[in-house]
């Protein structure tokens, strides 16, 4: 057992009072590897400096066009490259999307996210989604869509329709990316984020953990996200759902050790520390998580969850489960999107 010197000099985890965009991978690895109780303390200190305590945002996610995607993302059941359980479905009409948005609002969601399985939409498809965005926005819900790669004019069309956020995940580090996707480059993803920023859209961009990546890859993802200026307003952290028929299901079945829950917690805490004003979203993979792991993720700085029993194509925890969980933890759903409340700042005196 190691013994520490209680009088050892404490070194800051980050530059006090300054938001940074120049984190190195080595620095973020060091944050992830901080003793867990200290890491959680630091992450919660940052969270409370920027957001109301004990409050999580409720979002709802709807697949508005499912399957037949030409991309080869190794985790995704919607890829046309793999034989999975999905039956492709065409784009939903705006009226049907609006009906689902009304239900989401009634269940306590303040944010409504729409996903279409496209590599890059046509202008006509963007126009159709824009009609739905206008209707959802009129309900008073924060809006987010993910449609694949966009041009600057397409991003502007979505912004003109009232879109708040565009979701386009980086997925993982640049070094590990080629083992997950070959049909779209890392630079393609960054170009779409640039197009959305140019159009004045807020960014929702994060990644997936548990794909066989290393801790350094997880740090590399966070380094890339934090390099964006400003930081992404929304950072989803997804835990891989191993879907039969996808390459990662086959690969990881032979390596049955899932990502340890505490590694997810450490990744969320590091995201909170390096991007203090971002809403960190505990996204896919919650269905199999214990109450205790949820609690640690919230302590680490996660402050948004998807409500309902369905994500794009995967099962989610469900409304009854989430209501019981939040009640047991003494937490509440936000009555407005947390991005409206964030005050990006680094608390004085936070150190390790």
Distance between CA atoms of 303 and 282, rounded to whole angstroms?
7
**Residues 184, 266, 281, 286: which is the catalytic one?**
281
Q: How far is CA 196 from CA 28, 169, 174, in A?
A: 27, 13, 21
Does the bond joining 131 to the residue before it have cis omega, within 30 degrees of 0? no
Assess whether 286 carries a catalytic annotation. Answer: no
CB atoms within 10 A of CB 182: 13
**Residues 69, 189, 197, 218: which is the catalytic one?**
69
**Residues 196, 204, 266, 272: which is the catalytic one?**
204
**Residues 113, 189, 218, 266: which is the catalytic one?**
113
Does the bond joining 242 to the residue before it have cis omega, within 30 degrees of 0? no
Assess whether 297 carries a catalytic annotation. Answer: no
**Residues 11, 20, 119, 144: which is the catalytic one?**
144
Assess whether 113 carries a catalytic annotation. Answer: yes
CB atoms within 10 A of CB 12: 12
In degrees, rounded to 5, the angle at the alpha carbon of residue 98 between the alpha carbons of residues 140 and 63 is 110
The secondary structure of the chain in percent helix, strand, coil, rounded to multiples of 5, reads 40, 15, 45
Asked if residue 131 lies in contact with residue 158, where contact means CB atoms within 8 angstroms, the answer is: no
Distance between CA atoms of 240 and 34, rounded to whole angstroms?
24
Assess whether 144 carries a catalytic annotation. Answer: yes
**Residues 73, 189, 196, 297: which is the catalytic one?**
73
**315 strand-pairing partners:** 310
Assess whether 281 carries a catalytic annotation. Answer: yes
Assess whether 69 carries a catalytic annotation. Answer: yes
* DSSP code of residue 332: E
CB atoms within 10 A of CB 306: 24
Which one, of 107, 90, 100, 166, lies nearest residue 135 by Cα?
100
Residues catalogued as catalytic: 69, 73, 76, 113, 144, 204, 281
């Amino acid at each position: 057992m190691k013994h520490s010197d209680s009088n050892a000099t404490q070194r800051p985890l980050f530059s006090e009072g300054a938001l940074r965009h120049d984190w190195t991978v080595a620095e973020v690895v060091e944050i992830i590897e901080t003793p867990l109780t200290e890491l959680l303390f630091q992450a919660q200190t940052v969270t409370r400096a920027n957001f109301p305590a004990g409050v999580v945002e409720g979002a709802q996610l709807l697949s508005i066009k499912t399957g037949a995607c030409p991309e080869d993302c190794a985790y995704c059941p919607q890829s046309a490259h793999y034989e999975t359980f999905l039956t492709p479905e065409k784009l939903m009409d705006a009226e049907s999307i609006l009906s689902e948005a009304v239900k989401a609002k009634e269940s306590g969601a303040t944010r409504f996210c729409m996903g279409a399985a496209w590599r890059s939409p046509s202008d006509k498809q963007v126009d159709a989604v824009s009609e739905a965005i206008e209707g959802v926005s009129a309900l008073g819900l924060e809006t987010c869509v993910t449609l694949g790669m966009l041009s600057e004019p397409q991003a502007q069309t979505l912004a003109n329709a009232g879109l708040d956020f565009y979701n386009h995940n980086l997925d993982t580090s640049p070094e590990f990316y080629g083992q997950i996707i070959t049909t779209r480059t890392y630079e393609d993803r960054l170009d779409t984020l640039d197009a959305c920023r140019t159009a004045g859209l807020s960014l929702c961009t994060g990644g997936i953990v548990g794909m066989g990546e290393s801790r350094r890859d997880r740090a590399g993802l966070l380094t890339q996200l934090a390099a964006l200026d400003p930081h992404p307003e929304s950072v989803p952290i997804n835990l891989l759902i191993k879907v039969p028929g996808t390459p990662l299901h086959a690969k990881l079945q032979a390596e049955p050790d899932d990502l340890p829950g505490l590694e997810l917690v450490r990744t969320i805490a590091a995201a909170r520390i390096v991007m203090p004003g971002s809403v960190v979203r505990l996204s896919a993979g919650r269905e199999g998580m214990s109450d205790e792991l949820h609690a640690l993720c919230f302590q680490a700085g996660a402050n948004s969850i998807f409500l309902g029993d369905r994500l794009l194509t995967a099962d989610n925890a469900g409304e009854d489960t989430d209501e019981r969980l939040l009640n047991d933890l003494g937490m509440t759903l936000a009555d407005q999107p947390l991005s409206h409340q964030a005050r990006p700042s680094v608390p004085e005196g936070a150190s390790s």
